[in-house]
A and B are shown apart, each in its own frame.
Chain A
């Protein structure tokens, strides 16, 4: 037990160093840092047009008021920020590490290769505007939907958001791992990223088959839909349990697939 605790502390400290070094690297290029934030602000404006349209039409969507929809879009924006800041740049770099053979040095380190390659780079500049913008929208949607601010609701919302981060990690890493065989994965990356956009609107706007597929087979709706659905009492008991179990099931599957894929690493010639 003490070994597990020691290891957890070690990994947490190394992750803290990743965060610190990423921040120092970002600050070294101030103009790039500022432009990164401005670009993200631009994306938020585009995402807000969905909300604008909903308010303009002024009608309920499958029983959801425009303020309820704001809750969904706000959660989607928060998750976009978390995904872009913590995972996206690491994931797109993985095929490059495989193609150039730069993965070699990481393999020789006495630390989880999956940990170091998928979590090393952190880009705070993309997170700040998204998280601030998203939290404001969620606060407005929460308040105007007359949802009580109590411990159960806050824990449920944040809990499903954290579980969504775990699911996001798993389902967006899988396409990149195919690079161990195909070397380049740009096409698959574009496809998987477009799946993320399914969360811009509540999953209830899609037909039943698509909802089932997006919940149980390729669980894209677990990324950002479950937090607001929990607040709006839109989750069945089965969906609540699945929302908790699925992230861990997919994380284990990704781990198994990672170890299998790594056997196919052939490096690059020197």
Chain B
């Protein structure tokens, strides 16, 4: 049995439409047009124990809503899900003691207190023994290099240091499943790198299952072999990150520099122009006949230089974001 099983999970939100201006505000006191938004539509996937899965999608695609349903924060309007054998929204104590969610934009530490006080509170809430508490704190503060910051008021910590403390608070009870919702948002490159390295190590050591959402491609490339892309509430891709090109019909990208300018129409017959400058252009073409196209281009165009490469993962994902 998979550690996470999601079947046709759906969530619909209702909201009110309001036109611009005071007049419409007064009108809305008496009558409001109720609208519905299908935030998540029949999402299905499974995650095996110890996997790190990237959960990608543009803003408003339904990633966070799905994670919130899987962590029991909100109820779904349809479908089913099982995490560690529990129905998340039943909010059983045993379930809560075995998973953690870290949201980059939300915090759980007391702002005016040193982090170690909040950790002490989490120890009691999660019923962690004194021995395990000391061991875990020692290990995590060492790994994240924040041992000396435990006694510093949280509001005095930098964003990166605060996120590290948030991670310690979330991992104190040794969760088996971790949902990470944009854990590196707003952090500098070095802090992002440190946090990625930490999760890589933590996953290998503890065989925890991680579902990660992030808008930073490096987070996904470094950590996740498998990626699920969600767009407008539906899953549009679920496979190894490396196979994203195959999904996009094996496209190739040619970047060409010309000796002198040519008519744009002369370029169109070789493929789809993605970028176009005075003497440089980028062309998307089918991988299957790319060699013939290049040969023909070299014969017919005044080419000074060219490169041919696969579509980058970023571009592949961006293309999936536009999938309807």
Contacts and interface: CB of A to CB of B under 8 A. Distances in A.
A36 interface: no
Given A21-B117, A24-B113, A265 B74 contact: yes
B142 to A, nearest CB: 26
B64 A108 contact: no
Contacts of B181: 270
A263 B68 contact: no
B105 interface: yes
A13 B124 contact: yes
Interface stretch (A53-61, A99-107, A158-166): A99-107
A98 B107 CA distance: 15
A21 B114 CA distance: 10
Interface in B111-157: 112-113, 117, 120-121, 124-127, 153
B96 A21 contact: no
Interface in B39-94: 60, 64, 68, 71-75, 91, 93
A25 to B, nearest CB: 4
Nearest to A105: B108
B127 A10 contact: yes
Interface in A240-263: 263
B97 interface: yes
B110 A25 contact: yes
B223 interface: no
A51 B112 CA distance: 40
Contacts of A14: 121, 124-125
B202 interface: no
B182 interface: yes
Residue of A17, A110, A263 most packed against chain B (CB within 10 A): A110
Contacts of A186: none
Nearest to B93: A110
B73 A267 contact: yes
A269 interface: yes
A107 B179 CA distance: 14
A109 B73 contact: no
A111 B127 CA distance: 10
Given A108-B72, A110-B96, A102 B121 contact: no
Contacts of A193: none
B106 interface: yes
Nearest to B118: A21
Residue of A104, A108, A269 most packed against chain B (CB within 10 A): A108
Contacts of B127: 10, 110
B113 A21 contact: yes
A17 B110 contact: no
Contacts of B72: 107-108
A10 B97 CA distance: 15
A21 B124 CA distance: 14
A102 B106 CA distance: 7
Contact of A17 (B60, B93, B124): B124
Contact of B121 (A21, A25, A108): A21
B64 A24 contact: no
Interface string A11-32: 0011001000100110011000
B103 interface: yes
A144 interface: no
Interface string B280-302: 00000000000000000000000
Interface in A101-129: 101-102, 104-105, 107-111
A266 interface: yes
Interface of B: 13, 60, 64, 68, 71-75, 91, 93, 96-97, 99-101, 103, 105-108, 110, 112-113, 117, 120-121, 124-127, 153, 181-182
7 contacts: A13-B124, A17-B121, A21-B110, A28-B112, A104-B68, A107-B72, A267-B68
Given A25-B112, A107-B72, A108-B72, 14 more contacts: A10-B124, A17-B121, A21-B110, A104-B106, A105-B101, A105-B108, A108-B99, A108-B101, A110-B96, A110-B125, A266-B74, A269-B60, A269-B64, A270-B182
Interface of A: 10, 13-14, 17, 21, 24-25, 28-29, 101-102, 104-105, 107-111, 263, 265-267, 269-270
